[in-house]
Structure 1
Amino acid sequence: MRLLEVVTHYRSSLILILALAIGAMTGIYFPKIAREVAPIGQIFINLLFMIVVPLVCLSVTSSIASMTDLKKLGVILLAVIGVSAMMAIIPSLTIMSLASLFDPAQGVTLTLKNPITDDGGHMDFVHMLTTNDFVGLLSKSNILALVIMSIIAGIAIGQSGEHGRKVSEMLQSLNVVTMKIVSMIMLVAPIGLGCYFASTMANQDPELLTSFAHAILLFLVAALIYFIVGSTFYAALAGGRPAIANFWRNVFPSATTALGTSSSLASLPVNLRSAQKMGLKEEIADICLPLLVNVNKGGAAMTATLKVVFIYSVLGLDFTPEVFFMTLLLATLYAVIVSGVPGGAFLGEIFIVTSLGLPMEVIPMLVVIGATTDAMATVINVTHDLSATQLIEKILGKRLTFYSSKNQIPTNID
């Protein structure tokens, strides 16, 4: 692939990384200027928080509603979601295992304007997962509860026949408008995040920048290990040695496309062709792969887990057993639901920060990690869609043969 094509595919990420780098340098070497531009960054962050509730509600609900027809496809959906959840938990455990051996922050501590207190990791899961009234769902502080209720609402709409289809169409239209609002806000993302990061770095140790390199290197090592070992493991479960050989013989066109485009959707046609060459049943692959593009995001789960581990490390907070299990839950939801939201830029960062009660100052750091790990994460997402299809064919066998390959499930992905 030519250099110009690579730059085109990664243009948004490169611009963000450049803006954050300029912000970091400004904060370290020109702290006075960094403090003066802090309000610009704060306005941008506030705009994100202002749109996050309707974004989550409309995007998640409309996506689930359009995908869900439990009368016809319940077995498929359960298999897809179950396999996707497993493929989110395993890579999360992989990155946490390596992080326990190699501290991604290397002992560097982030200094905050308003220091947070470590409560020993005691989390109120009841209030994290639910609220005691409907109004509570309209607060960004209850984003996890909002996601859960949006999933339930989406399933209910999908099961409500003609009335549900009318509601789904309305939600789709509202979602398009919301995405347009998000795209307008994101036009100023490099400026807003650059200014916010500059003000954050104004009082920090310059060594904090090197900790990002350690965290990214940790991710790349973990991702490479998981790609090789995990893919082989899944193929072995699906069909032993023949399935392993079949997978590795046909996966590289999908992997290189994912690496070059950093897009699961752009890689879908190649994945469908790879599935055909692997001999996977067309009636299974043609239904499952479009679904898996939306919900099977093991690479995204690894990134989300790294973000949590890294931030807890730089904040000097204890990574308690409760935080461990909460991280697994967040990574799974992040992979299966949040990362599949169309156009939900920075939704993942807000999802993590609000769910764990972390300070807003860490958002640009999460963006740095997300932008720099996106390509390898996409490789895992795309190639393991093939692994998941192998497993689903093994699990369901002949149950899916009565579905026509023409009965595509609509997807909602950029």
Structure 2
Amino acid sequence: MEFIKNYRGILWLLGGIIAGTIAGLVLGKQVAIIKPIGDIFLNLLFTTVIPLVFFAIASAIAHIDASHRLGKVLGVMSLVFLSTLLIAAFFTIVAVWIFPIHQQVTLVHMEEPASTGTFGDQLTRLLTVSEFYELLSRKNMLPFIIFSVLTGMAAMRAGERGASFRRFLHSGNEVMKDILGLLMKVAPVGLGAYFAYQVGTVGPELFGTYAHSLGIYYGFGTVYFIVGFSFYAFVAGGFRGIQTFWKNNIIPTLTAVGTGSSIATIPANLEAVHRMGVPPSIGNVVVPLGATLHKDGSSISSIIKMAVVFSMFGKGFDSVETVVMALGITVIVSIVEGGIPNGGYIGELLVMSVYKFPPEALPPLMVIGTLVDPLATILNATGDNVAAMLVTRFLPKRAAATS
């Protein structure tokens, strides 16, 4: 019963998708009559995402205690987090190249946007906008995230002068999380209606694309969990490190499966890293921050979702520019989604914004994100333990003792 309670939201969402699938298969193109229900849900989600991202990011940064400087611990931790995220993302791209997701279904044929201006001009348009009101569009998510980070940093640096504003950011974050929670209660209906429309108009071929992508995720994710984490543990402590990691990682893994939450796994992780020989001065920093900022499972799923949507919209996922951009997005998604319930959907909106996909791209992204959640949670949660071992390995002993 506890397992069902923890995964209740996912089960309801899957129920809505299954019901939509049946409706699409039975009614065919006639199911288009319920498409407005899905459109309404997506529009509500689109309008919620902007204030949600602003308050979540700005509030998190604003409430960092600037006087409590952890120096080298945070520096080494950041490098470890970034390295494992990029390694996971890069090898996922390689897996997609080896087992390509063929264009079995093409939702919309997209014209490649004409390249205008120099590389510097394109980079400027990607990272910034010229008017404040343009930040309030989901099509400019990356500039908006940068603005949110700057706002949070300014609120933190303001000290006592910014106390009232920091309380405002915290309150706004709580309110927006509740709004998203309300929206997600109707997600089974809205997403189910949109999925029914896609199945009814595109046909059963849609399942082949989803099945292929899930096969890649669970296949590569399992290999990464066993081989990748063993490699990290070896780097941290040799063969003894591998033995120590897996001996003490069983309980956190089962906790992640049972709770479906990286946050809920923090107590089990703290106990595990202590048994792995990680000093409290490192474990007490890396594990809680890792639950928010370090998500190898999300990194893998981001690449898979991008590859699927590129396939569905008839675009190639093999150019250097596309791959570099994908690696950057996975890092941003991992950081952004950590402090937001159902934060994976925020990452999916970022993918749509950067690559200029139409609204039809969101349902496939949400469906895949829902189906990969169990393994993603395991990778996200237990990846913090091996990251703590790596930080201990590379951090000077004096810094670990005095941090």
TM-score (norm 1): 0.90
> What displacement does 1:156 show?
2.9
Which position in structure 2 is the counterpart of 1:37? 34
Which position in structure 2 is the counterpart of 1:399? 399
Which position in structure 1 is the counterpart of 2:351? 352
> What displacement does 1:32 show?
4.4
In 1: Cα distance, 2:51 partner to 2:34 partner: 28
> What displacement does 1:390 show?
1.1
In 2: Cα distance, 1:373 partner to 1:12 partner: 14
Name the SS for the 2:395 alignment partner: helix
Alpha-carbon contact 2:333-2:344 (below 8 Å) kept: no
- Which runs of structure 2 are paired with 1:132-281 in the superposition (5 Å)? 132-281=130-279
In 2: Cα distance, 1:370 partner to 1:121 partner: 31
Identity of aligned residues (%): 31
The answer on 1:65 being equivalent to 2:59 is no
> What displacement does 1:384 show?
1.1
Alpha-carbon contact 2:17-2:192 (below 8 Å) kept: yes
Runs of 4+ that moved beyond 4 A: 120-123
Deviations 1:189-228 (A, max 9, x none): 1111111222223221312112211111110111111112
Deviations 1:153-175 (A, max 9, x none): 22332233223444222200111
In 2: Cα distance, 1:141 partner to 1:65 partner: 25
Q: Runs of 5+ in structure 1 lacking a partner?
A: 404-414
Name the SS for the 1:340 alignment partner: coil
Q: Runs of 5+ in structure 2 lacking a partner?
A: none
> What displacement does 1:307 show?
0.2
Instruction: Give the alignment partner of residue 107 of structure 1, picking from 103, 110, 116.
Output: 103
Residue type of the alignment partner of 1:145: P
Residue type of the alignment partner of 2:112: D
> What displacement does 1:385 show?
0.3
In 1: Cα distance, 2:145 partner to 2:65 partner: 16
The answer on 1:95 being equivalent to 2:89 is no
Name the SS for the 2:70 alignment partner: helix
Which position in structure 2 is the counterpart of 1:406? none
Instruction: Give the alignment partner of residue 313 of structure 1, picking from 311, 314, 337.
Output: 311
Alpha-carbon contact 2:336-2:347 (below 8 Å) kept: no
> What displacement does 1:312 show?
0.7
The answer on 1:16 being equivalent to 2:10 is no
> What displacement does 1:138 show?
1.2
> What displacement does 1:149 show?
2.1
The answer on 1:85 being equivalent to 2:82 is yes
RMSD: 2.0
Change in CA separation of 1:354 and 1:130 when aligned onto 2, cut-off 3 Å: same
Alpha-carbon contact 2:225-2:379 (below 8 Å) kept: yes
- Which runs of structure 2 are paired with 1:277-316 in the superposition (5 Å)? 277-316=275-314
In 2: Cα distance, 1:239 partner to 1:159 partner: 39
Residue type of the alignment partner of 2:149: I
